Structure 1
Amino acid sequence: MPTPATRSDTRVRMVMRKLPHVTVLFWVLKIVATTLGETGGDLLAQTLNVGYLVSTVIFFVLLVVAVVVQLKARRLHPAIFWTVIALTSTAGTTLSDLMNRTGGIGYTGGAAILCAGLAIVFIAWWRSGQTLDVENIATFRGEMLYWIAILFSNSLGTSSGDFLSDSLGFGFSISALMLSAIMLLLLGLHYFTRVNGMLLFWIAFVLTRPLGATVGDYLSKPLDHGGLAWGTMWTSAALLAALIGLIAYQTVQVRRHPLQPLPAPTHRRTGAPQRPNGEVVLA
């Protein structure tokens, strides 16, 4: 019969997850958070007349603080994670508007620049040797690349949503329907084809941003602009309440059903061990 020492020798180092599983709840939270990002960014920059430049600076300062807290966390805390997502959306909204409107680049030019930036991030991510599986990231460098990609994705989503609704003249409701149809197509590709899951994830992640932007504009913009005239303040308040409720639900679910830890991270190509960025446990 094995002794306690023998049993302990068979245990392996595992790392607690810091990023949530990609489920239906994940996408619902993502759409609500990005819609809040659109209306929250417009509330500060337009309704409160702070301006795109100052608003971008404010949101980026808040984003940096939130990212530092997230990077220092030892395991998943839904409130922290979704705060960072919401702030990447608000910062992405004001940054995109600053480039496209104040900077005069235009929606097409802004989308092209952000698309190129996102491509560069993915190339750097691939060359870094970090895992590309967004559910299994367990290193500081991998998580940093993840958040940079998300910031570019949300900024690109803002430009693409404005491009669809304004430049192409589809309006808010038609743009939202088109994007919803594309999301359903991606869902079908995920379940019924062998298309790479990470490729589908990032396409969907980018597209949920313009979907949130068009829904946010539809709720908040005046009637003569094709919206429901809720205003940015009331729309943001309603979305914030919905986001808090969903985060509370996910927090309870994580406590009731803790996420399984990850194996200790290794370099994707060489297999060399890497320093974990979460709480290390023995399993």
Structure 2
Amino acid sequence: MRDTRGRSRARSAPGWSKVPEVTAWFWAVKVLTTGMGETASDWLARTLGPVLAGGLGLAGLVALLLLQFRAARYGARTYWSAIVMVSVFGTMAADVVHVMAGVPYVVSVVGFAVALAAVLMTWYASEGTLSIHSIRTRRREGFYWTTVLATFALGTAVGDLTAGTLHLGYLTSGLAFVVLIAIPALCRRFFGLDAVAAFWWAYVLTRPLGASFADWMGASVHRGGLGWGTGPVTLVLLVPIVVLVHRMAAGERGNASKAPVTVQAD
């Protein structure tokens, strides 16, 4: 069945989508990956140098996105591995704009926000929806991952803006984002905010939320952190990510009786 714009209506069952259902586990892993991506990016840049680290980050991102696009349906391990690499490379992209190009965080925040808005408007104009439960074609999957990358770059710049330019520090920034991320849920519950708008609003904020706390744990004491170091914090965050993703992957076996779906070309 097709809608009035000539596009196939997406099936309602969330299991058909190439992305996970939005549950508490989804948000928990998402925040953990944002923190890990922040510290992993910093550790790689300091250990290998920004050029080599950036090249490896881009190569890892491309490889895992290719695996994700080639998959017939959602798989927890493939999907979240790709998200981790988006987090790492998104941090690198935002840092390059500021550190190497010398662009102020205020300017980069505006630039990434405009880029994100452009992607979302193009996606909606093409598909008539921004719902993640409709990611069942190659084209929508392309829009989805482009949006995800833009949200990570934007969130990184926002977190650096509050912690550095506005001098709030990592911990205060993290606590501020804890409050801010509750706003879309409250607006959804009490003021009827559209579910898709609430999702993407919260999704953007998970990045500076997780990154701020990760930076606080990894940064030196004289920079307002706990001084644990970016390498150890990366490992500390990796453990619960692996455990939770393994749990999600195990839960997929309960749906093994469903026939696999071949993602349409467009």
Deviations 1:1-24 (A, max 9, x none): xxxxxxxxxxx9x98332111111
User: Which residue matches 2:156?
Assistant: 158
Query: Counterpart of 2:17 in structure 1: which amino acid?
Result: R
Which residue does 1:269 correspond to in 2?
none
Which string of whole-angstrom CA distances, capped at 9 and with x for unpartnered residues, describes residues 41-61 of structure 1? Answer: 001012x1412x332222111
The match for 2:140 is 142
Rounded to whole Å, the distance in 1 between the matches of 2:107 and 2:246 is 39
Q: Give the Cα–Cα distance (whole angstroms) in 2 for the partners of residues 35 and 162 of structure 1.
A: 13
The residue number in structure 1 matching 2:115 is 117
Q: In the alignment, what sits opposite 1:192?
A: 190
- The one-letter code matched in structure 2 to 1:163 is L
1:80-118 Cα offsets, whole Å, 9 max, x none, are 101111111100111101101111002111111111111
What residue number does 1:276 align with? 264
Q: Specify the alignment match of 1:101 in structure 2.
A: 99
Of Structure 1 and Structure 2, which has the larger fraction of its residues in helix?
2
Give, in whole Å, the separation in 1 of the partners of 2:259 and 2:99. 45
1:7-18 matches, within 5 Å, as 16-18=16-18
Q: CA 1:112/1:170 → structure 2, altered by over 3 Å: closer, same or farther?
A: same
**Residues 83/109 of structure 1: CA separation in 2 closer, same or farther (3 Å cut):** same
Q: Which amino acid letter does the alignment assign opposite residue 276 of structure 1?
A: Q
Q: Compute the TM-score of the two structures, normalised by the length of structure 1.
A: 0.84
In our comparison, the structure showing a higher alpha carbon Rg is 1
In structure 2, relative to structure 1, the CA distance for the partners of 1:218 and 1:258 (3 Å cut) is farther
TM-score where L is the length of structure 2: 0.89
Contact 1:99 1:110 (C-alpha < 8 Å) held by counterparts: yes
Which amino acid is the alignment partner of residue 106 of structure 1?
A: P
Q: How far apart are the structure 1 equivalents of 2:200 and 2:251? A: 25
Q: Is contact 2:220–2:227 with CA below 8 Å preserved after alignment?
A: yes
Q: Decide which moves more: 255-264 or 64-73.
A: 255-264
- What are the ranges of 5 or more consecutive residues in structure 1 without an aligned counterpart? 1-11, 265-274, 279-283
Does structure 1 residue 73 correspond to structure 2 residue 71?
yes
Determine the structure 2 residue equivalent to 1:8.
none
3-state SS, counterpart of residue 132 of structure 2 = coil
Partner of 2:142, secondary structure, is helix
Question: Are the counterparts in 2 of residues 221 and 231 from structure 1 also a CA contact under 8 Å?
Answer: yes
Partner of 2:3: none
Distance change in 2, residues 1:218/1:146 (3 Å) = same
Q: Does the Cα contact within 8 Å between 2:37 and 2:85 map onto a contact in 1? A: yes
Contact 1:43 1:233 in 2 (8 A): yes
Aligned partners of 1:169, 1:259: CA distance in 2, in Å?
53
Question: Which deviates more, 19-28 or 186-195?
Answer: 186-195
Give, as a single letter, the amino acid of the residue that structure 2 aligns with 1:36: M
1:218 Cα deviation after fit:
0.6
Question: Paired residue for 2:56?
Answer: 58
CA contact (8 A) 2:216 2:226 kept: yes
Contact 1:32 1:212 survives alignment (8 Å): yes
Two-structure CA RMSD over aligned residues (Å): 2.4
Give the counterpart of 1:220 among 218, 221, 228: 218
In 2, are the aligned partners of 1:56 and 1:94 still within 8 Å (CA)?
yes
- Which gives a bigger RCO, structure 1 or 2 (Cα 8 Å, sep 6+)? 1
Q: Provide Cα deviations, 1:106-155, integer angstroms capped at 9, x if missing partner.
A: 21111111111111111210121253110221000000100000001001
